[in-house]
Amino acid sequence: MRNFKNSTIYQIYTKSFQDSNGDGLGDLNGVTSRLDYLKELGVDYIWLTPFFVSPMNDNGYDVADYTAVDPSFGTMEDACRLIAEAKLRGIGLMFDMVFNHTSTEHEWFLRAMKGEEKYMNYYIFRDGSPDLPPTNWESKFGGNAWEYVPHLKKWYLHLFDVTQADLNWDNPEVREELKKVILFWKEKGIEGFRFDVVNLISKPEQLENDEIGDGRRFYTDGPHVHEYLKELVRDTGIADMVTVGEMSSTSLENCIRYSNPAEKELSMVFSFHHLKVDYRDGKKWELKAPDYQELKSLLETWQMGMQKANGWNAVFWCNHDQPRIVSRLGDDQNYWKESAKMLAACIHLLRGTPYLFQGEELGMTNPGYPDITYYKDVESTNYYEIMRSQGKTKAEALQILAARSRDNGRTPMQWNGGKEAGFTEGTPWITIPQNHEYINVETEKEDETSILNYYKKLIALRKESSIIADGKIEFLYQENPDVLAYRRFNEQGELRVFNNFTGQKVVLEENVAGYAVLLGNYEDAQESQAGIVLRPYETVVYRK
């Protein structure tokens, strides 16, 4: 295994990366054709989102066959070629295991629907009358989390879409089936796994109504989750591979256990608390300006807590479920380049393994879709209807989607300024923003000061500096909401990182005499002096 602490992991949303056959959908051969770009960027691993057989109600997170390639993405030969070609370039692949649920088109579920008891035990079925779901739990995509099956006179649980039925991990046969999936892909030569919402797999034995919430407190980091993870890792021999778990609404205490090497669970975890600082009262579909003080204190709590107990974070701003960070915490109009670079340095220099989501390295923005017909994501289309039925006007609902929709992160990779951004020769499955004319790989490669070249520097720096890869972290200016600042240090030296999160000048009484500027996002980064003046969205990294 490579050292995952000095590695950078690149996330590819397969459907939106590169189309190779003109059908408007990204595919495996498309990914293979772009490996040289990723090698040049310097990334160590690719996390590839699901390309398995699926009815695509949730773009592949509804898996109908875990060990077969969906024809829209290519063939098994294409997958094997991708793994081999990546390996030749020193890049390891991580595949995405969606084990909390299967598609309702999976053979197991189809057989359960026929009333086969063995397969009914693979899922979470409960008796009940047609008008009263077993609990009041809510689906993450809106509505009640249970679906009634008239001919079985039972309800099944789906924490996500109605076509994503939750698996019953308490059944040892289910756990054995999933281990076989891991072994199947492991034998194909991949180097790691990402586990989708893996902290939701263990539901309590007694299911009860949630009088104060949507039910998540009962099944999040559930009763047997650590035991089941340990078993999965032990029996598939993946303790030495790179693994990351996506942890929904988790706690620090649990994340320490998931990622502390002594526990032999996972290499690292994604947690999302820092990406809710613009949710009003914690509600995704209610807008609020980002609370930077809250962002700072969440990052600090998690960084310090994980450090203290030997846990390890995946550090990230973007993925296929999140809006684009430069449109969210930066200023994609007036300080596009500066704020994108500041956000890059800020996250890449934290303690943890950075994840870079396709197009983030270009400063790709939210597309600003003007109408509901542009949206494809099941969560967005569901919530549009919900918001409308709750009395929001069309314009209000669209404004919220423009900020919150998962489709914001799913627009195709912008390779060049030409038609459809070089993503496809056909019609893309989702509209590409006009700004691909200047935000694209071709243009940014040529520009030494581009966001792309800045990311390249950050990725290379991590390889050169043990301070970045594995140094300690301590936060500075905790009470100042305008800057996020911290120091990283070990026996090799010290870095001081200052990030101005505002569009105004910020003055800090900081003595950096004796330090040199290692990196900045303005052409003329200041040399060390007593006191620092940070320009709008400026980031400066000092080194001693």
Active site residues: 196, 246
Q: Is the Cβ of residue 219 or residue 454 nearer to ligand TEU in the bound state?
A: 219
Binding of residue 543 to ligand TEU (CB under 6 A): no
Q: Is the Cβ of residue 321 or residue 482 nearer to ligand TEU in the bound state?
A: 321
Give the H/E segment covering residue 384.
helix 378-389
**Shortest gap between Cβ of 59 and ligand TEU (angstroms)?**
7
Give every CB contact of residue 317 below 8 A, 6+ residues apart in sequence.
275, 325, 328, 329, 343, 347, 357, 360
Instruction: Decide: 237 and 181 in contact? Cβ < 8 Å.
Output: no
Q: Is the Cβ of residue 247 or residue 469 nearer to ligand TEU in the bound state?
A: 247
Tokens 């008008």 sit at which residue?
A: 131
**Shortest gap between Cβ of 114 and ligand TEU (angstroms)?**
25
Site string for ligand TEU, 103-142 (x = CB under 6 A): -------------------------------------x--
Tell me the C-alpha distance between 252 and 262, whole Å: 16
Instruction: Decide: 414 and 37 in contact? Cβ < 8 Å.
Output: no
Q: Is the Cβ of residue 286 or residue 425 nearer to ligand TEU in the bound state?
A: 286
Identify residues 224-253 at the interface with ligand TEU (CB under 6 A): 246, 248
Report residue 132: phi and psi, to 5°: -135, 100
**Shortest gap between Cβ of 354 and ligand TEU (angstroms)?**
18
**Shortest gap between Cβ of 144 and ligand TEU (angstroms)?**
16
Binding of residue 94 to ligand TEU (CB under 6 A): no
Give every CB contact of residue 242 below 8 A, 6+ residues apart in sequence.
1, 2, 4, 7, 9, 45, 92, 94, 191, 192, 193, 267
Binding of residue 98 to ligand TEU (CB under 6 A): yes
DSSP assigned state of 275: G
Q: Is the Cβ of residue 429 or residue 498 nearer to ligand TEU in the bound state?
A: 429
Instruction: Decide: 30 and 85 in contact? Cβ < 8 Å.
Output: no
Q: Is the Cβ of residue 141 or residue 415 nearer to ligand TEU in the bound state?
A: 141
Identify residues 316-355 at the interface with ligand TEU (CB under 6 A): 320-321
Maximum Cα–Cα distance for the chain, whole Å?
76
**Shortest gap between Cβ of 489 and ligand TEU (angstroms)?**
34
Q: Give the one residue of 10, 61, 454, 537 binding ligand TEU; rule: CB under 6 A.
A: 61
Q: Is the Cβ of residue 255 or residue 342 nearer to ligand TEU in the bound state?
A: 255
Give every CB contact of residue 308 below 8 A, 6+ residues apart in sequence.
none
- Helix axis angle, 451-464 relative to 336-348, nearest 10°? 20
| Strand, coil or helix: 157 | strand
**Shortest gap between Cβ of 48 and ligand TEU (angstroms)?**
13
Tell me the C-alpha distance between 355 and 376, whole Å: 25
**Shortest gap between Cβ of 406 and ligand TEU (angstroms)?**
7
Identify residues 444-483 at the interface with ligand TEU (CB under 6 A): none
Instruction: Decide: 417 and 436 in contact? Cβ < 8 Å.
Output: yes
Tokens of 207: 């299911």
Site string for ligand TEU, 159-198 (x = CB under 6 A): -x-----------------------------------xx-
Interface residues with ligand TEU (CB under 6 A)?
A: 58, 61, 98, 140, 160, 196-197, 246, 248, 284, 320-321, 379
